[in-house]
């Protein structure tokens, strides 16, 4: 690789190896949280390679295995919002969403190597591409409810158009569910699994002839069968798959308050039942364990975000990616101008006490019609 082939910017490198354009995120102390320079660096690389016939596919990866990308730089957005400079955050999300849409329309294969943590904006630069490669160490989530925001970066569209179930996507968005590698593959958020992301990338980049299908060859060599993948992870069975019937019954219809009532009824019923001898208290397939996780996630969520997100997701089932991004922008801009966003980011990302004080504290006191009108 010659120096002319590489472009290094703050927190991002882009270079060509063989027939592969590689975008490497390099902001490890912030788990590759995306700032404006990184968004623009990705966009610049796409500009260079989109019409370059020598570049057959594009890979987005991380310089460190701990995290692919933990999201957008919402700490910075919060700082600007707290100063009353809402325009800075508006511009940040405008650029981020424009990139998300571009990735969704990109005509070349886009391969995201999802080693480690992938959250929020990390899905925005991966989920709209053609290939999403997970490993036994992948951990995904859309954790926006706890920071007083909503799932964005086009994920209200992607999650409501999962082949497995649009209701499953709503559940993932509302609960910030920690997606295991098995969950990622079950839902389709992951398209393939490999054991060694570096060996996969090396073989992908070893092909230097555009006439050869480097991506197909690398996947044929490294992609794991379900049986082989199950041997490498602690929990080869997706909890989402195990509890799909409950998720469908509880989250399929109505407003957030309707869902909340069904969840409360299910919790009360479970508490009345005597646990069977087969129920191990630390078994993730145990329904009680699963229900506790769901309730714990909801307990730290902003009620206003939950109400708004349900309306956003219901609308996104009937839209395309571009419209979903527009709707996310409208909802997000409203939420960012509330104290709940400042408080949520403080509790999760700054003080990390996860003890946010949201107002209102009860979803029944949130005006759902306000959000329906905004999205109409």
Q: Which residues are catalytic?
A: 72, 121, 144, 152
Return the number of other C-beta atoms located less than 10 Å from residue 373's C-beta.
Answer: 10
Contact predicate 308/328, CB 8 Å: no
Cis peptide before 349 (omega within 30 of 0): no
Distance between start and end Cα atoms, the chain: 52
Task: Specify whether the CB–CB gap between 168 and 240 falls below 8 A.
Answer: yes
By DSSP bridging, strand 7-9 and strand 12-17 are antiparallel
Compute CA distances 255 → 26, 310, 359, 366, whole Å: 41, 6, 19, 11
- Cβ atoms 200, 208 nearer than 8 A: no
272 secondary structure, DSSP code: H
Angstrom CA distances, 101 to 43, 72, 223, stand at 11, 16, 28
Q: Using CA atoms in the order 309, 315, 319, 323, what is the torsion angle rounded to 10 degrees?
A: -60
- How is residue 274 annotated by DSSP? P
**Strand pairing report for 67-69 and 117-119:** parallel
| CA 312/CA 327 separation, integer angstroms | 7
Distance, in Å, from the CA atom of 65 to the CA atom of 63, rounded to the nearest integer, reads: 7
């Amino acid at each position: 690789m010659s120096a002319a082939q590489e472009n290094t910017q703050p927190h991002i490198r882009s270079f060509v190896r063989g027939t592969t354009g590689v975008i490497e995120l390099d902001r490890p102390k912030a788990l590759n949280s995306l700032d404006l320079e990184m968004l623009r660096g990705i966009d610049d690389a796409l500009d260079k390679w989109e019409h370059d016939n020598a570049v057959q596919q594009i890979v987005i990866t991380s310089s460190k295995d701990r995290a692919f990308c933990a999201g957008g730089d919402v700490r910075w957005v919060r700082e600007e919002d707290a100063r009353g400079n809402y325009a800075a955050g508006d511009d940040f999300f405008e650029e981020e969403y424009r990139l998300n849409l571009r990735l969704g329309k990109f005509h070349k294969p886009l391969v995201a190597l999802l080693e480690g943590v992938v959250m929020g904006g990390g899905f925005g630069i991966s989920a709209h591409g053609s290939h999403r490669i997970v490993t036994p160490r992948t951990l995904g989530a859309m954790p926006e409810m706890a920071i007083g925001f909503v799932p964005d970066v086009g994920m209200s569209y992607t999650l409501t158009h999962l082949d497995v179930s649009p209701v499953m996507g709503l559940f993932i968005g509302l609960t910030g569910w920690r997606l295991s590698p098995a969950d990622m593959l079950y839902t389709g958020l992951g398209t393939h699994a490999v054991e060694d992301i570096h060996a996969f990338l090396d073989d992908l980049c070893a092909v230097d002839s555009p006439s050869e299908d480097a991506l197909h060859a690398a996947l044929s060599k490294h992609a794991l069968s379900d049986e082989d993948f199950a041997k490498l992870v602690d929990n080869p069975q997706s909890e989402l798959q195990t509890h799909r019937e409950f998720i469908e019954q509880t989250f399929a219809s109505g407003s957030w308050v309707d869902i909340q009532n069904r969840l409360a009824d299910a919790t009360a019923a479970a508490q009345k039942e005597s646990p069977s001898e087969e129920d191990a208290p630390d078994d993730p397939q145990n329904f009680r364990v699963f229900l506790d996780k769901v309730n714990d996630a909801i307990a730290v969520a902003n009620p206003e975000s939950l109400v708004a997100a349900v309306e956003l997701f219901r609308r996104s089932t009937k839209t395309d990616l571009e419209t979903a991004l527009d709707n996310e922008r409208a909802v997000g801009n409203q939420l960012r101008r509330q104290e709940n966003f400042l408080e949520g980011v403080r509790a999760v990302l700054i003080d990390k006490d996860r003890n946010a004080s949201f107002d209102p504290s009860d979803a029944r006191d949130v005006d759902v019609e306000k959000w329906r009108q905004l999205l109409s």
